[in-house]
């Protein structure tokens, strides 16, 4: 048993952990980008496809707000996805001025492929880089981090 199992972490330890999580998030993003090099979609495009998959059709403004980008930037991302046949437009059911973007069958297939590639890299890294106890800690930590993100 370590000392951390008996007493709560100090404010300095929490700050250090926060700093490490921030840095690791960036490193993980870069590694996932490398793992999926050659994919037909960029990270930002995959994020939009994923959001449409999870939440269903959305307007450009809704997607921009959710992804924390300007509507003009989201418009460019959606145009590229539409040109590639991965999303399609449809009229908004209650507001004729707006259109809804949704995944096409090809968009769903591409998203599945990207997810499989990225998740495969993570699973392999967990299998090859950690022992059984460490893998169990990571599984528990993932659930805790997810709770923090959902509550934040």
Mean pLDDT, 10 residues at a time, the chain of 152 residues: 71 94 92 82 92 96 95 96 97 90 96 92 95 96 91 69
Helices then strands, each counted (H, E), the chain: 6, 2
Q: Kindly report each contact of residues 27-36 with a partner whose C-beta sits within 8 Å and lies 24 or more positions away, as own/partner.
A: 31/121, 32/118, 32/121, 32/122, 35/117, 35/118, 35/120, 35/121, 36/114, 36/117, 36/118
- The pLDDT value given to residue 52: 97
- The pLDDT value given to residue 123: 95
> The pTM is what?
0.77
- The pLDDT value given to residue 150: 85
- The pLDDT value given to residue 40: 82
Backbone conformation region of residue 22, classed left if phi is above 0, alpha if psi is from -120 to 50, else beta: alpha
- The pLDDT value given to residue 67: 94
- The pLDDT value given to residue 6: 75
């Amino acid at each position: 048993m370590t000392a951390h199992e008996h007493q709560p972490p100090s404010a300095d330890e929490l700050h250090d952990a926060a700093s490490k999580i921030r840095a690791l998030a960036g490193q993980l993003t870069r590694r996932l980008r490398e793992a999926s090099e050659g994919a037909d979609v960029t990270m930002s495009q995959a994020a939009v496809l994923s959001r449409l998959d999870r939440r269903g059709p959305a307007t450009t403004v809704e997607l921009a707000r959710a992804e924390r980008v300007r509507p003009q930037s989201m418009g460019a991302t959606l145009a590229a996805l539409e040109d590639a046949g991965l999303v399609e437009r449809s009229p908004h059911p209650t507001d004729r001025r707006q259109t809804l973007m949704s995944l096409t069958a090809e968009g769903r297939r591409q998203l599945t492929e990207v997810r499989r590639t990225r998740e495969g890299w993570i699973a392999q890294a967990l299998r090859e880089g950690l022992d059984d106890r460490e893998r169990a800690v990571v599984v528990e930590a993932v659930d805790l981090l997810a709770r923090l993100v959902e509550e934040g």
